A = this chain, B = another copy of it.
Amino acid sequence: MIEDKNPQRTSLSELGEFGLIEHLTKDFKITRKSTVKGVGDDAAVLDFKNRKTVVTNDLLVEGVHFDLAYVPLKHLGYKAVIVNLSDIYAMNATATQITVSIAVSNRFPLEALEELYGGIALACELYDVDMIGGDTTSSNKGLFISVTAIGEAKNEDLVYRNGAKSNDLLVVSGDLGGAYMGLQVLEREKEVFKVNSNNQPDLSMYTYIIERQLKPEARKDIPVLLKELGVKPTSMIDISDGLSSEILHLCKQSGVGCNLYEDKIPLDPQVISASEEFDINSTMVALSGGEDYELLFTIAQSDYPKIKGNPHLTVIGHMTPENEGMHLITRANTKIPLKARGWNALKEE
Contact = CB atoms under 8 A, between A and B. Distances in A.
Interface of A: 36-37, 40-50, 52-59, 61-65, 86-88, 90-91, 93, 97, 99, 101-103, 132-135, 137-142, 144, 146, 148-151, 153, 155, 158, 160-162, 236-238, 253
A59 B237 contact: no
A260 B146 CA distance: 37
Looking at chain A's contact residues, is the secondary structure mostly helix, strand, loop, or mixed? strand
Contacts of A43: 54-56, 87-88, 90-91, 93, 149, 151
Given A43-B55, A45-B91, A46-B53, 17 more contacts: A37-B160, A42-B87, A42-B91, A43-B91, A43-B151, A45-B54, A47-B53, A56-B99, A57-B135, A59-B101, A59-B146, A61-B103, A61-B137, A63-B139, A64-B137, A139-B142, A140-B142
A245 to B, nearest CB: 8
A139 B101 contact: no
Q: Copy number of this protein in the oligomer?
A: 2
A281 B140 CA distance: 30
A47 B52 contact: yes
A153 B36 CA distance: 13
5 nearest A-B pairs in the assembled complex, by CB-CB distance:
A146-B146, A43-B56, A42-B90, A46-B53, A59-B101
15 contacts: A41-B160, A41-B253, A42-B161, A43-B91, A43-B93, A47-B52, A48-B48, A55-B97, A58-B135, A61-B139, A64-B103, A65-B137, A99-B148, A141-B142, A144-B146
Given A47-B53, A140-B64, A237-B42, A146 B101 contact: yes
